[in-house]
Amino acid sequence: MLTERMQRLTPKLKGLRAAILEERITRQTRELYARRVGEIQRECGPLSGDPYSVLLTFLATNQGKYAASTLRGYKSAAMHYLRVEDKTLSEAENDDLDEVLQGLAAKKGPPEAKGPITQDRLNELVQWCHGQGQHLYADSFVVLSGICCRPRDIRELLASRVDLLRNTVTVRAKRSRVKIAELGAYETHEIGTEGARLILRRRLLGLSETQAVFPKWNDATARRLVKAAARQHGWPMTEMIFNGPHCLRHGAASQRFDEALSAAQQAGAWKSRTSTQRYAEPETSRRQRKKPRIEE
């Protein structure tokens, strides 16, 4: 529990404190936390009573439903809620729940690898979407891959955030409120493919700055289309998971890394990629590998 002095705060000071604490996280995170806290309390009872027992029950009963990393997110949501409500777990209870989460992570083993949707798979996905009459999603997947962004960036993309002259798109950065105050709320991505450029140029025609480039884009529909295309085209689903449009970001990064490695291999005339990677090892990891000298 919080200190006795904090418990004696006036209602006005409690309200001010709660409002300031809410500013630690973004609006989107607040909404996510609110949904997760609601789920915890609907399933296991109010957090205001015995939060340790409630959280432990939730973790135990949902270990088969959610990944350990997702359950950790539920705990974070609960901890924020408790802090705002002038409550918290004891240090021992908090540490114990963290160890429970570590046990769940060890039990589940490493998470399944996301399947990268590189250019060949992207072509199959786009053709599949057009064949299903889902032309908006076909275009959006090309752009998502071309600017190596998150699915939410496609959903939120406004015409004002596309700069065809500079060949860039501005998207919301994934940062805490503290980092947003320091670095800003947005980051710039290069439009990296001609296909993405052509689609953006076409879709921007006639749009005002505040209009969405991909109106009515829906996460659930996008996930369904990716999964259906993976099944239809026989992607290696037993080895990796192709569970949604985020696989396009993985694929874009993978393909660009592969292209950069090929360029480095050609520049140095190395016969193998292993040799190329050894020569291209970053300085930071070289420094970490160096063993300290032992003085005689």
List helix spans (H) across 157-245.
177-183, 194-204, 219-232
> Strand, helix or coil at 172?
strand
Q: pLDDT value at position 28?
A: 84
Domain-wise residue ranges, the chain: 4-108, 119-268
pLDDT grade, residue 285 (50/70/90)? confident
Q: Report the predicted TM-score, pTM, of the whole model to 2 decimal places.
A: 0.74
More confident residue, 204 or 27: 204
Tell me the pLDDT tens digit for each residue of 125-154. Answer: 999 999 999 999 999 999 999 999 999 999
With residues binned 3-state (H G I as helix, E B as strand, rest as coil), the percentages for the chain, rounded to 5, are 60, 5, 30
Q: pLDDT value at position 113?
A: 86
> Strand, helix or coil at 265?
helix
Tell me the pLDDT tens digit for each residue of 167-182. Answer: 999 999 887 777 877 7
**For the domain bounded by 119-268, which CATH number is listed?**
1.10.443
- What are the CA-CA distances from residue 229 to residues 154, 172, 184, 239, 242 (Å)? 19, 28, 37, 16, 9
The amino acid at residue 144 is: L
Q: Which helix (H) or strand (E) holds 71?
A: helix 68-84
Q: pLDDT value at position 101?
A: 93
How deeply is 200 buried, as exposed, middle or buried, from its count of CB atoms within 10 A (0-12, 13-18, 19+)? buried
